Structure 1
Amino acid sequence: MKYVFIYTLFFMFVFCSSCGQSQTKVPQDNISKGLYSGSQLKEADTSKAPMSMVRNVKQDRNGNILIASYLGVFRYDGISFTNLTNKISPPRVSSFWDVLEDRKGNLWFASKDSGVYCYNGQTFKHFTTKDGLASNLALHIYEDRAGNIWFGASRYDGKSFRNFTTKDGFPSNSIRLLLEDKTGKLWFGAQGENMFVYDGKIFTVLKNKDGKTFKNVWSIIEDKKGNIWFGDVSGLWRYDGSTFTKVSQRGAYAIIEDKKGNIWTTGSNASLGQHLRDNSGRDAWALSRYDHQSLYNEKPAVTEIMSGQPGLLGLLEANDGSIWFGSFKGVYRYDGKTITDFKSKEAQH
């Protein structure tokens, strides 16, 4: 009966045509002092392109690129960048980790320390723990098929937040909804904790054939064939509904499937045992492409598109087929031949 009750809660939704709450005052205890220098903050205020860490890249219904940068959320229309958040949250206030356009056309911004913002094209609304959000640390946004917006352990139905914990049967209090698959199952991950799935009745902590759990899962996708792809601390995995297959030891912070069926990842190469380093001695990261024709081979063909720089992060295939990816140093675009570093382009103006 307990799980029936939880199942009912999952699917009792209230819909609303706007963001749904009044704007609240922005908290002042935000970016750690010293994270960015005064000159970097000034640069972020005046620059047109993202000049800081980019955790996630998305695309809106009009084809614009949405970029969640530590020092602002940007929109790129194919010609120029617009900072969408400089009027509501200057760089000293919020550090943004994710962005999403929901099915109603609202834009959502998740921050590391100031809760979440909703922009309906005209006005901004701000949500914090005072409004029912589980935490002002919001690192991930996901919209489920019923139109609910998830921020970690908080689900927003257009009117109010519902926060899920172990008291509701969840295996963890520190969760992120990462995927709702085609069958309706909900896949959750948590930083440093186990991945689990909810099928509408029970929660299952997932384990491979050796009985080991999958920990620190940041990204999950479902490919065109219905396979689930995800990366944990040991590398890249594929799940076909019955068997977990380790595809690669390469790290997989972010994963996408492109229109051709290739799988793209960003992640550290440290798990390869090579411990590649950049000039500062940090582990090197890579943007990798797994060829769709060999995905099911014992050793799929993989091409490193870019490597050496630490912290290659969020991934997007744009409508034109170009691959966008974030990094510790801004945002990049790969058109199949050339990698464009927009921070370097900005510096040239």
Structure 2
Amino acid sequence: MMKYFHVYALCLMSVFSTGCGQNRTNVPQDSISKGHYPRSQPKENSAGELAVRLATTSRVPVSMVRNVKPARNGDILIASYLGVFRYDGTSFTNLTSRISPARFSSFWDVLEDRKGNLWFGSRDSGVYHYDGKSFQHLSTKNGLASNTATHIYEDKTGNIWIGASRYDGKSFRNFTTKDRFPSNNIRLLLEDKTGKLWFGAQGEDMFVHDGKTFTVLKNKDGKTFRNVWSIIEDKNGSIWFGDTNGLWRYDGRTFTKVSQRGAYGIIQDKKGNIWTTGAVTQQLWALSRYEASSLYHKIPGVTEITSGGPMDFLGLLEANDGSIWFGSGGGVHRYDGKTITDFKSGKDKN
């Protein structure tokens, strides 16, 4: 049984509105057309200098790619440490070269919202908003809870969640334990079909808000789920997610451990297969596919597509053509069912 937090009913009813908790901060409508430079500058070494030179001259992502997301027109959006790129089926375009030179970049996430605006999340410089004409830089000076904006999510009402901050297009609403949240360090990972909000964060327990109550989730052994990086709702309405102990499935009543394999990234493709990236062992990471026909078997059939060292397989996306894109510590890759293309090296691997 899941244990519920004792909370004040009035606060819970208004926790996602303007009352009960942190003040809203109006965001001035300033924009930037020149480069923005984070206050903290990374120390350079020979490897770092080489990466910067490559990023400056390369026309493809050459650094760590944490997330790969879809654009509304079917293009691929790629958040790489040294810049955010768009792939239009033929070539890559660096979308962030105007706002942050490669030597100062640290991008982790990208999102195109329902209005067609682009959002770029950084590790230590807040978030950038691009409306097709100009960039707007949003940080703690504008009311963002933290300049660590490594995860961006759009909910069903069009609000943009950036870590513990919710942006409604005009102002930020920041959520903390004062709002009866179990943690100050939150990320909205999923809004499911029933409207429940699933939260998680690095080093924190995953929890759910059903509109009234916060629930810290626990398995049958009473253990919480920590370090949940990825989560999806499958075609049957079950929730799949990965934590420090492997891959899990929740059918609304029971948590089932599907695999020991980690799931840094997780998607379901058009055929119903579940794909994951993550650790197989401490030193071995892999791109794995769980076959649609066996997803609800006691031991689902899994195919290891390819494997490598730690952090070699990160964010995941199925493109419109059915190919699987995944990020790694050294760029972005595409698997077409037969061949893996490494865009950084220009080489294919069967």
Give the TM-score taking structure 2 as reference length: 0.91
Distance 1:99 1:137 in 2: 14
How many pairs are equivalent? Answer: 330
The alignment status of 1:30 with 2:36, answered yes or no, reads no
Could you tell me which amino acid in structure 1 is paired with residue 310 of structure 2? P
**Does the CA-based 8 Å contact 1:26-1:114 persist in structure 2?**
no
Determine the structure 2 residue equivalent to 1:120: 131
Partner SS for 1:40: helix
Q: After the TM superposition, which residues 218-297 of structure 1 pair with which residues of structure 2 at under 5 Å, given as runs?
A: 218-270=229-281, 275=282, 283-297=283-297
Distance 2:77 2:344 in 1: 16
Q: Aligned match of 2:172 in 145, 156, 161?
A: 161
Could you tell me which amino acid in structure 1 is paired with residue 284 of structure 2? A
Structure 1 residue 11 displacement after superposition:
5.1
Distance 2:339 2:84 in 1: 25
**Does the CA-based 8 Å contact 1:21-1:127 persist in structure 2?**
no
Distance 1:147 1:40 in 2: 36
Q: Closer, same or farther in 2 for the Cα pair 1:12/1:225, shift >3 Å?
A: farther
Distance 2:44 2:279 in 1: 25
Q: Aligned match of 1:92 in 77, 86, 103?
A: 103
Structure 1 residue 190 displacement after superposition:
1.2
The alignment status of 1:78 with 2:89, answered yes or no, reads yes
Q: After the TM superposition, which residues 143-162 of structure 1 pair with which residues of structure 2 at under 5 Å, given as runs?
A: 143-162=154-173
The alignment status of 1:303 with 2:303, answered yes or no, reads yes
Distance 1:223 1:339 in 2: 26
Structure 1 residue 9 displacement after superposition:
4.4
**Does the CA-based 8 Å contact 1:196-1:205 persist in structure 2?**
yes
**Does the CA-based 8 Å contact 1:73-1:83 persist in structure 2?**
yes
Partner SS for 2:241: strand
Q: Closer, same or farther in 2 for the Cα pair 1:320/1:295, shift >3 Å?
A: same
**Does the CA-based 8 Å contact 1:221-1:228 persist in structure 2?**
yes
Determine the structure 2 residue equivalent to 1:344: 345
**Does the CA-based 8 Å contact 1:23-1:127 persist in structure 2?**
no
Cα deviation per residue 1:15-71 (whole Å; 9 max; x = unaligned)? Answer: xxxx97313683532352137522220210111000000000011111110000000
Q: Closer, same or farther in 2 for the Cα pair 1:31/1:54, shift >3 Å?
A: farther
Distance 2:238 2:84 in 1: 32
* Percent of matched pairs sharing the same residue: 71
**Does the CA-based 8 Å contact 1:31-1:94 persist in structure 2?**
no
Could you tell me which amino acid in structure 1 is paired with residue 145 of structure 2? A
Distance 2:124 2:105 in 1: 6
Distance 1:23 1:30 in 2: 22
The alignment status of 1:314 with 2:315, answered yes or no, reads yes
**Does the CA-based 8 Å contact 2:37-2:100 persist in structure 1?**
no
Determine the structure 1 residue equivalent to 2:63: 52
Distance 2:57 2:244 in 1: 38
Q: Aligned match of 2:52 in 31, 38, 41?
A: 41
Q: Closer, same or farther in 2 for the Cα pair 1:20/1:244, shift >3 Å?
A: farther
Q: Closer, same or farther in 2 for the Cα pair 1:297/1:100, shift >3 Å?
A: same
The alignment status of 1:64 with 2:65, answered yes or no, reads no
Q: Aligned match of 2:14 in 8, 15, 24?
A: 8
**Does the CA-based 8 Å contact 1:96-1:111 persist in structure 2?**
yes
The alignment status of 1:200 with 2:211, answered yes or no, reads yes
Cα deviation per residue 1:208-267 (whole Å; 9 max; x = unaligned)? Answer: 000000000001100011000000000000000000000000011111000111000000
Partner SS for 1:142: strand
Partner SS for 1:92: helix
Cα deviation per residue 1:69-103 (whole Å; 9 max; x = unaligned)? Answer: 00000000011100000111111222000000000
Structure 1 residue 155 displacement after superposition:
0.5
Partner SS for 2:346: helix
Distance 2:279 2:317 in 1: 18
The alignment status of 1:108 with 2:119, answered yes or no, reads yes
Q: What 5-or-longer segments of structure 2 have no aligned partner?
A: 1-6, 20-26
**Does the CA-based 8 Å contact 1:190-1:216 persist in structure 2?**
yes
Structure 1 residue 269 displacement after superposition:
1.1
